[in-house]
Amino acid sequence: MKELTHYINGEHVKGTSGRFSDVFNPATGEVQAKCPLASAAELELAVKAAQAAQPAWGATNPQRRARVMMKFVDLLNRDMDKLAEALSAEHGKTFPDAKGDIQRGLEVIEYCIGAPQLLKGEFTDSAGPGIDMYSMKQPLGVTAGITPFNFPAMIPMWMFGPALACGNAFILKPSERDPSVPLMLAELFEEAGLPKGLLQVVNGDKEAVDAILYHDVIQSIGFVGSTPIAQYIYGTGCSQGKRVQCFGGAKNHMIIMPDADMDQAADALIGAGYGAAGERCMAISVAVPVGEETADRLIEKLVPRIEKLKVGPWTSGNDVDYGPVVTAEAKQRILGLVQTGIDQGAELVVDGRDFSLQGYEDGFFVGPHLFDRVTPDMDIYKQEIFGPVLTTVRAGNYEEALKLAMDHEYGNGTAIFTRDGDAARDFAARINIGMVGINVPIPVPLAYHTFGGWKKSGFGDLNQHGPDSFKFYTRTKTVTSRWPSGIKEGGEFNFKAMD
């Protein structure tokens, strides 16, 4: 049995708490490794190393920090297949999808190469007689991130890339379900020239999370996961005086207008609803066709596409559409919600409950499901299923469709499929959701824009990656400078306004 480690101060360190979590092969259901769960004392070792290493890194020229980012990008491309294989083996997603996970993280690192430009301050000369004013963007110090299982490469890079580019040290607490890739990324960054102690990986559970939340040296925390935990981390972290950004659950709606290209819409829903077994916070899980005729046409297009989906392990080749979910518990929760949908009166058009894959009967595979005539009071509509289950809610008109998305408690992503520019423009302007797609089913912004949801999908004032990330990982210091000329006599005891 393979025993994984922490990565502290440039070394693989065996866990000392005596507590471990099983890392499964989701395709077979077998335990393939043990992940150590850190104690507060183990986290303290990482904090001390980070605190010692950060000042010199923060004082390093941003251009030199950017060169480390450049080398890291080269190494990511060199080891892309190796990283993707490790990711697929622990998460279960297909090999092309695993490479996409790494690629979208790599793109944020590429953006961070622009740190010298992004970290420039402002300057005003002659703000008053002989007075100049300027601002400096300075690193926070020691920062931390708590990341989810569903993107074990991308989301850590979304956090530690900007944090390191800004001159901070970063402690990563990844998901204990698939921790190998984060450990590999830390090794690669040091190979790229990052000094030891600046990027460390501490595996753990709530004990490690609480140690991060209450540690007075750690200045900021990033989190992605479920909404209840996001609320807990945001509230606790803010109460401790930390800068915190937390991103939670989602229930993403796609409105299909009567004029939409129905083949295009159906293809988009297949990829967005069933890709990565639905384990994406930007997955489309609710289709909202406008009008009965539109709904009937959409269902007619969806059913044969869903029935042709190829479900299997990532080792079966690149034509596999999606793999298993991450754990047996996740599988049982999904199937439990499917049964709840049936019990509450939704129409199960495609039933994947009896799906079984020969040779992989103990794997965590879930067949594709399609519900029709779902209503907003049903649990399968209200809750994030996080599995290969697409629900269809029929709307009588555009305003009703818009209201469905706007009234839901989550506000991560949404999309509209239409050939009417006026409808698309109105939708983009009015919808109260953070990321919007127009004929784009998964509107994840590119690295030079920001990623973040609204309502109960996001907590904090600043989003992930893009310009917001450089604001999140720096503090602004403003300096007022006066260099007297000639001989100045006497002092002034009143606070005078600048002329």
Q: What is the 3-state secondary structure (H, E, C) of 69-97?
A: HHHHHHHHHHCHHHHHHHHHHHHCCCHHH
- Between the CA of residue 283 and those of 337, 390, 475, what are the distances in Å? 17, 10, 34
Residue corresponding to tokens 């190796």 = 82
The packing angle between helices 180-191 and 62-78, to 10°, is 130
Its sign, for the CA torsion 460, 466, 471, 473, is positive
- Angle, vertex CA 257, rays to CA 255 and CA 262, nearest 5: 95
Query: Are 314 and 88 spatial neighbours (Cβ–Cβ below 8 Å)?
Result: yes
Residue corresponding to tokens 């925390």 = 221
Rounded-to-integer distance, Cα 365 and Cα 311, Å: 8
Is-catalytic flag, 281? yes
For residue 285, give the amino acid letter.
S
Looking at the DSSP bridge assignments, the partners of residue 438 are 416
Its sign, for the CA torsion 250, 256, 261, 267, is positive
CB neighbours of residue 377 within 10 Å: 9
Rounded-to-integer distance, Cα 173 and Cα 212, Å: 9
| Residue 46 token pair | 């990482």
2-11 b/e (C-beta count within 10 Å ≥ 16 → b): eebbbbbbbe
Name the residues annotated as catalytic.
281
